[in-house]
Amino acid sequence: QVQLVESGGRLVQPGDSLRLSCAVSGGTFNTYTMGWFRQAPGKERLFVATISANGEHTYYACFVKGRFTISRDNDKNTVYLQMNSLKPEDTAVYSCAADREATGYEYDYWGQGTQVTVSS
C-alpha cells in the first residue's frame, strides 16, 4: 500500500518562505512522477508543480513560477515544495500525489494534505 504524508504547512506572513515535504512509503518512489496540488476553501483543486522520476524535469503552474521550486530526494523517498514570496492567495491545503506511469495528468496516489495559511 502506497502512502503519502505531507508536512510543513503552517501560518506564515506575506513574503515569508516555507518548505513542504511529502514522504512516500510502500511503493517504488524513484519510478513515480510526483506532483503538488492545492485547494483553497470553496475552490477546485489546482495543479501547482510536477517533477519527473529522476528529478531532471519540472513544470509549474504559471501562478507559482519563479516563486516555488519542486525537488525530490530519491534516497529519502521524499518530494519537496519550496515556496518563497508567499502571498495571501497561496493559502490552501497542499497535497502531493504520485503518478505511476508518468502520464502527467493521472495521479494514482494522494496524500491527505497540509494547510498553508498566508496572513498578516
> Residue 108: how many CB atoms within 10 A of its CB?
13
- Yes or no: say if 16 and 101 are a contact pair by the CB < 8 Å rule: no
Partner residues linked to 116 by β-bridges = 92
Q: Which residues of the chain have pLDDT under 50?
A: none
Report pLDDT for 60.
Answer: 97
Residue 5 in grid coordinates: 504524508
Which phi and psi (to 5°) does residue 29 adopt?
Answer: -55, -40
Report pLDDT for 49.
Answer: 97
Report pLDDT for 104.
Answer: 77
Query: DSSP code of 113?
Result: -
- Yes or no: say if 34 and 96 are a contact pair by the CB < 8 Å rule: yes
| Cα–Cα dist 19/93, whole Å | 14
Report pLDDT for 42.
Answer: 94
> Residue 109: how many CB atoms within 10 A of its CB?
18
